[in-house]
């Protein structure tokens, strides 16, 4: 069925117009039309509404088809323009067609009008499709350009390796290569000529052989005009035509000089690496492993109807994951001298928990005795997880000292350290303390080793049985709490470790009641995370609580997704340590695309310097790994609803 048409008729004869309209109605069209005779009337009609077709007589008293065509073109309206006139001569008709008219029909041959209209409407539709596609391409290219030019740390490029032509390079090329973009456009091989002679042949061969195949990923050195050397990581990805044939390559070149220098420094200093560096390296990977374990255990507990035994097993998994996270946190705290979060608390609660764990996990040949009052112990200001780690470590050491069984004793009492006692314990200050004694009836420690047991990496255990970090970590925690440790040991009879913690007058802080988990309202969350297991459990947690999710595996992919969907994305959850582009760089770039972007950064490694950088760029929420489902949902809800 032919469509309804809006026709603008440029004609001074109403009778001739009616003949043309009758012909179109016979062709099945329903019509709305307007007849104009002057340029002013046509301008008013064009301004008032849109039209599907213009039919024009060639000559009118005050107007003409060529003038009407020029007026239409000046409005940048690509409408079918058909001249229906008396005989005007072949040369005149050809000139009109060259000027942009789509067809010429004589008034004596009106049966040609319907086929001509059908054809021109089809072609106009195709032209509109092409125009829309070209406009979409221009907009896409503009988004790419804006994205590329907002990233100063990397060079985005597009080239044709076959014709050896540089099609695009972002401004970062000038900063990193030290050469102008114009010079690269003029000489495609300039980037290759800048490569260090030792790397050039390898890169030249691999680029021209592998780029179109999608296998180009190389690191090389360049020599800048000032003689300085920079390291580059360069990757290329082919673009295919409709037949699937690669014809262009787009890529990203990163300045990895700092990374290379760091790698060289680390290789040089490997044997002298400090405990802090070692702990930092462990923390990120270990917390990434613990995150899906912890979140999954809590999510299953919340979402499934489980029996008491199953819930207990899941709680055991969750508690173990939290203790693993605490272990990493305490090592980092010791290595960096960072204090944990301290609250007024009663040591007896922590000792009771340690006793429970020991009774559940230690061999039955070990008897566990306790001697601490249910009340009247003084309060201490401490980080509960840190103290748990200290006491648990001492109990594990006691267990290992009794391979054939024995007695493990946990005791606590109030102690006042006077000046005379302080002189015997140089680490102490006079005052009130809570003294916690953990004793065993094991093998004991030889006197020549007592002075070394708190040294980092020192252990008397077999290879693979201990790291030598436990006691040094424990001592670091106790000292950070203002306390000290005394050791008493006799070979063949056992050992006692006595921990002194300063007492305070404040009452114990009661734990806050557990709150219900907060659901979303169908908000779209962009997860930027390179670990697949963390991607999966975070996505599952959010989708189970009424959020929608987009996933990016690195910062570059996140920026591309955000550039495409920034008006739909409500919040970005960004890991700080990722390949290709780190989370801080990605966050800064998102802020350039949208200064009001809401973001939460997450990491398994939270140093003071890192937290300062996060604060400096204006990110208000940090979610440390490993995180629980509740912590994740609380953080997202708070940023979405309360942080401006």
Q: From residue 529, give the alpha-carbon distance in Å to each of 62, 324, 532.
A: 70, 21, 8
The predicted pLDDT at position 475 comes to 86
Q: With bands split at pLDDT 50, 70 and 90, how would you rate the model's confidence at 310?
A: confident
SS (H, E, C) 170-184: CCHHHHHHCCCHHHH
Distance CA(188)–CA(193), nearest Å, equals 10
Note the pLDDT tens digit of each residue in 10-26.
Answer: 999 999 999 999 989 99
Torsion angle of the four alpha carbons 473, 477, 482, 487, in this order, in degrees rounded to the nearest 10: -40
The predicted pLDDT at position 468 comes to 43
Note the pLDDT tens digit of each residue in 146-195.
Answer: 666 666 678 888 888 788 888 888 888 998 999 998 999 999 889 899 99
Provide mean pLDDT across the span 41-66. Answer: 92
The predicted pLDDT at position 357 comes to 82
Distance CA(436)–CA(411), nearest Å, equals 6
Distance CA(449)–CA(531), nearest Å, equals 43
Q: With bands split at pLDDT 50, 70 and 90, how would you rate the model's confidence at 233?
A: very high
Note the pLDDT tens digit of each residue in 311-323.
Answer: 788 888 888 888 7
The predicted pLDDT at position 268 comes to 47
Q: From residue 271, give the alpha-carbon distance in Å to each of 266, 374, 438, 468.
A: 9, 49, 35, 17
Helix or strand or coil: residue 129? helix
CA 485 and chain centroid, separation:
44
Sorted by where each starts, the structural domains of the chain and their CATH numbers stand as 4-129 (3.40.50.2300), 150-265 (3.30.450.20), 347-504 (3.30.565.10), 524-641 (3.40.50.2300)
H helices, E strands: number in the chain: 22, 22
Q: Is pLDDT above 50 for 75?
A: yes
Q: Is pLDDT above 50 for 512?
A: no
Q: Is pLDDT above 90 for 525?
A: yes
Q: What is the mean pLDDT of the chain?
A: 84
Q: Which residues contact 513 (CB under 8 A, 6 or more apart)?
A: none
Q: With bands split at pLDDT 50, 70 and 90, how would you rate the model's confidence at 418?
A: confident
> Could you tell me the two tokens for 341?
């979060």
* Residue 141 neighbours by CB distance under 10 Å: 12
Q: Is pLDDT above 50 for 629?
A: yes
Note the pLDDT tens digit of each residue in 545-593.
Answer: 999 999 999 999 999 999 999 889 999 999 988 888 888 999 999 999 9
Distance CA(177)–CA(225), nearest Å, equals 8
For residues 371 and 409, is the Cβ–Cβ distance under 8 A? yes
Q: Is pLDDT above 90 for 7?
A: yes
The predicted pLDDT at position 550 comes to 95
């Amino acid at each position: 069925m032919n469509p309804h048409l809006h026709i603008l008729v440029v004609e001074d004869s109403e009778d001739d117009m009616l003949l043309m309209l009758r012909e179109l109605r016979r062709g099945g069209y329903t019509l709305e039309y307007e007849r104009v005779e002057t340029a002013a009337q046509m301008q008013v009609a064009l301004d008032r509404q849109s039209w599907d077709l213009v039919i024009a007589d060639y000559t009118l008293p005050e107007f003409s088809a060529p003038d009407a065509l020029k007026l239409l073109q000046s409005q940048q309206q690509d409408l079918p323009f058909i001249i229906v006139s008396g005989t005007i001569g072949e040369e005149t008709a050809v000139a009109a067609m060259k000027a942009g008219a789509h067809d010429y029909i004589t008034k004596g041959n009106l049966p040609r009008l319907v086929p001509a209209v059908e054809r021109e409407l089809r072609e106009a539709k195709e032209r509109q499709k092409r125009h829309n596609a070209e406009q979409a391409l221009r907009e896409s290219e503009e988004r790419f350009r804006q994205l590329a030019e907002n990233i100063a740390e990397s060079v985005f490029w597009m080239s044709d390796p076959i014709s050896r032509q540089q099609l695009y390079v972002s401004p970062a090329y000038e900063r990193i290569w030290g050469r102008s973009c114009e010079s690269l456009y003029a000489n495609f091989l300039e980037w290759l000529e800048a490569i260090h002679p030792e790397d050039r042949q390898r890169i030249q061969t691999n680029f021209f052989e592998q780029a179109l195949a999608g296998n180009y990923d190389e690191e090389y050195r360049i020599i800048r005009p000032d003689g300085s050397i920079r390291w580059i990581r360069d990757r290329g990805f082919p673009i295919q035509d409709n037949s699937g044939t690669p014809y262009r390559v787009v890529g990203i070149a990163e300045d990895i000089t700092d990374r290379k220098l760091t790698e060289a420094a680390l290789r040089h200093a490997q044997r002298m690496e400090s405990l802090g560096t070692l702990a930092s390296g462990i923390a990120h990977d270990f917390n990434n492993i613990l995150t899906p374990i912890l979140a999954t255990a809590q999510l299953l507990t919340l979402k499934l109807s489980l029996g008491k035994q199953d819930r207990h097993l899941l709680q055991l998994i969750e508690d173990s994951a939290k203790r693993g996270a605490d272990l990493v946190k305490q090592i980092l705290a010791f290595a960096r001298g960072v204090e944990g979060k301290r609250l007024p608390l009663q040591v007896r609660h922590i000792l009771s928990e340690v006793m429970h764990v020991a009774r559940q996990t230690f061999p039955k040949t070990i008897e566990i005795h306790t001697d601490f009052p249910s009340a009247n112990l003084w309060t201490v200001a401490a980080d509960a997880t840190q103290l748990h780690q200290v006491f648990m470590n001492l109990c594990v050491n006691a267990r290992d000292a009794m391979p054939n069984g024995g007695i493990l004793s946990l005791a606590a009492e109030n102690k006042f350290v006077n000046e005379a006692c302080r002189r015997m314990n140089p680490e102490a200050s006079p005052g009130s303390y809570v003294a916690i004694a953990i004793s065993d009836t094991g093998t004991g420690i030889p006197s020549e080793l007592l002075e070394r047991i708190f040294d980092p990496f020192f252990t008397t255990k077999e290879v693979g049985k201990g790291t030598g970090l436990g006691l040094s970590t424990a001592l670091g925690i106790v000292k950070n709490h203002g306390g000290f440790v005394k050791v008493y040991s006799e070979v063949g009879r056992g050992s006692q470790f006595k921990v002194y913690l300063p007492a305070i007058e404040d009452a114990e802080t009661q734990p806050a009641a557990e709150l219900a988990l907060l659901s979303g309202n169908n908000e779209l969350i962009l997860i930027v995370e390179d670990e697949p297991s963390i991607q999966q459990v975070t996505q599952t947690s959010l989708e189970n609580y009424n959020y929608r999710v987009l996933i990016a595996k690195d910062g570059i992919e996140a920026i591309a997704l955000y550039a495409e969907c920034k008006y739909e994305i409500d919040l970005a959850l960004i890991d700080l340590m990722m390949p290709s582009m780190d989370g801080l760089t990605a966050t800064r770039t998102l802020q350039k695309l949208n200064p009001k972007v809401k973001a939460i950064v997450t990491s398994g490694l939270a140093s003071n310097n890192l937290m300062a950088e996060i604060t400096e760029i204006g990110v208000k929420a940090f979610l440390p790994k490993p995180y629980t489902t509740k912590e994740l949902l609380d953080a997202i809800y708070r940023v979405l609803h309360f942080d401006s």
